[in-house]
Amino acid sequence: MSQLFDLSLTRVRDLLRSGEVTAEAATAACLERIAATEPALDALLHVAGEAALDQARAMDASGPDASRPLWGVPVTVKDVLATEGLPTTCGSRILENFVPVYDAHCVSRLKEAGAIIIGKANMDEFAMGSSTENSAYKITKNPWDTARVPGGSSGGSAASVAAGQCFASIGTDTGGSIRQPASFCGIVGLKPGYGRVSRRGLVAYGSSLDQAGPMTRTVADAALVLKVIAGHDPKDSTSIDAPVPDYLEAIQGASLKGLRLGLPEQYWGEGLSAEVDAACRRAVDLAASLGAEIVPVSLPHTEYAIATYYILAMAEASSNLARFDGVRYGRRSTKSVDLATMYTRSRCEGFGEEVMRRIMLGTYVLSAGYYDAYYRKAAQVRRLIRQDFLNALGKCDLICGPACPTTAFAIGENTADPLQMYLTDIFTISLNLSGLPGMSLPVGLGRDTGMPVGLQLFAGNLQEAPLLAAAAVLEANLPAMPAPPIA
């Protein structure tokens, strides 16, 4: 029973359905794993503990329910998603005492499917960061090497899945925050297309960019979780009203024969480390040997993606985070002598340095005299970036490239240089600007660092099914990833 945490979600689901494993046993195994690994990892901000065990016992009393696809499966959720009765802090001091009275839509879907929420995962404050070093509470470590970052902003989710603390986690991706930490921690991370999963209950950073998605150990696990959380939400005006395929069925018997796989020249050149390049090219060669046709494509506006993203994301952040002022939401300073001081001190005490930096930059690009020069121009370039993807996908079925230019970097390595930190997202940001789906698949360990390397796959609008199918074929033919060495 103590080794249950090693199993995939789909395997545990089958054991739970058959009655070979109880929900209480699965939950207890994850809680034991959390107790064993948390001192080294700091992946979670809140652990449900006894509440999760009580829920599991109640479920066991009524018996397995085959109509609920995640019945009895323990999962974690990034702390940016509202959870009824559990704190939702967004990794920020300004929300340290906030306990929602409702669930985010995707959390409700998980619960309806029978999942047990055992913890809230650490994150960069308000999802602003690429290393989980910007959390106001703790720095999460990578299970493969605790001197290195797990990526961000969903680093806590990635580390909790990789370390066996849960069988899946829900992360969010605004500029790569699912795919980059998935790559760094050697797991599968899927960013659905914008609108495929409702954003209701997801505390907003960049409203036109944010998207929740599954972080799992296998492609099949991701397919199962996506099926649960995807679908139209009439209470979210950005939610797409479109049928949701059976993603698990879509990956059964999949093949790469005849698949046109596009390699964008901008993702395979300068700035890419040798070990990442080698691991990803081995995966591309494998795809070719399995029948895929490798097609060169171009995404010519990629060089403008980081500037475009940070103008748009920070502008949206400055608007979204205006509500956290000590009056409408968030902690109120006790050191105030007048209204203006109360606003200033509440926000300075509650927000971290990176959040304040992005709010100020966002306010600047939206200000009179600069709106046209920066924000409007960035919105125009965003359309060009999306068109690049559509043009490329007119020549191929999927696009692939490295998820990150390097493997996980050392804790503290980039904290003094925000620009260098932003550049770690260079291969992920464009996809959020386009609104299309993408995922990171572990393809091996770097020959120099011994750290995980992720290959990124992109697909057309609402094409998560063929994306997962291709990833499943590659996964089945790649050498199995070893378990991380965390105790």
Q: Kindly list the catalytic residues.
A: 78, 153, 177
Distances (CA, A) of 273 to 121, 174, 267, 402: 29, 24, 11, 10
DSSP H helical segments within 241-331, as ranges?
247-251, 274-289, 305-320
386 contact partners, CB below 8 Å, separation of at least 6? 433, 434, 435, 436
Report the distance separating Cα 253 and Cα 257, nearest Å. 12
Tokens for 51, please give them.
Answer: 């509440």
Dihedrals phi, psi of 305, to nearest 5 degrees: -65, -45
Q: Strand, helix or coil at 215?
A: strand
Q: Is 361 helix (H, G, I), strand (E, B) or coil?
A: helix
Backbone angles phi, psi at 407, to 5 degrees: -80, 180
Distance CA 410, CA 371 (A): 37
Q: For residue 173, give every residue at least 6 positions away whose Cβ sits within 8 Å of its Cβ, in sequence order, or none.
A: 154, 179, 189, 191, 210, 211, 212, 213, 428, 432
Q: Which amino acid, one-letter code, is at 410?
A: A
